[in-house]
Amino acid sequence: MAQMRLDKLLSNRTPHSRSEIKLVLKNGAVKVDGRIVTDGSCKVDPDAQEITCQGKKLTGALHTYFIVNKPEGYICATEDREHRTVLDLLPKELRVKGLFPAGRLDIDSTGLVLLTDDGDLAHRMLAPKSHVPKYYLVRLARPCGKEYAEKLAAGVVLGDGTQCLPAELKIVDPKKKAVLICLHEGKYHQVKRLFAALGNHVEHLHRVAVGGLILPDKLALGGYMEIVHKDVETMLKPSCMDGVCERIVTDFSSYWINDRQ
């Protein structure tokens, strides 16, 4: 990577404002190869040098990616006067400029949310023509009907007349009324409305995967994990319902299917 000014790197890779960056430098909180640097105009190469700001190592990566396991009570927004947002799940020092949630989950839903400052990738992920599959572990109020899978595969018409694309469904645990559903679009409250159209009710919804990107089984509710671009690109690769279902049954059997009452 070509050299760049240290203050520009700090501006791109930290949440600090310009005035805060000057203060951080002045206070000796920035090190280049282990030595304190206070001059923001000096040139650095983040790919060839070790650069830290307040103890956090900075890289020359163009964008930042975090996955979070969203708990209930958080909304997928960058700011809100009434509710906590998914950005609040990250420490302040990790909230780089332009970070936003790529996609949404309802305030009472949980699971995988991608936080990034990469607008191009988010557009590719969310564009209707991309049809990136999204997988949800769903707990129903009543047992899953034998006809659900066939009706979803044919494309359900919602209560307001909206025609949905075909969706896939697998029963995960009949006793717990748990199913895995895969959608290739993202209409408003779609999972809840689909099951309402089938005569059932969603008690809880947990997103477990987007494309080939699967929520790590050891990432606790409210937890976060930084990932790299090549990991995020797996979202755009083909994924298999059977493969995701096998992972979910193995990795999430101790989550709300068994423990959440």
Residues carrying an active site annotation: 106
Residue bearing tokens 């005569």: 199
Residue bearing tokens 């995960």: 172
Burial status of residue 254 (CB atoms within 10 A of its CB: 0-12, 13-18, 19 or more) = exposed
Single-letter code of the amino acid located at 103? G
CA atoms 14, 19, 22, 27: torsion sign: negative
> Measured in whole angstroms, how far is the alpha carbon of residue 116 from the centre of its chain?
9
- Across 114-139, b (16+ Cβ under 10 Å) vs e yields bbbbbeebbebbeeeeeebbbbbbbb
Per DSSP, the three-state class of 225 is strand
Round to whole Å and give the CA distance between 216 and 19. Answer: 38
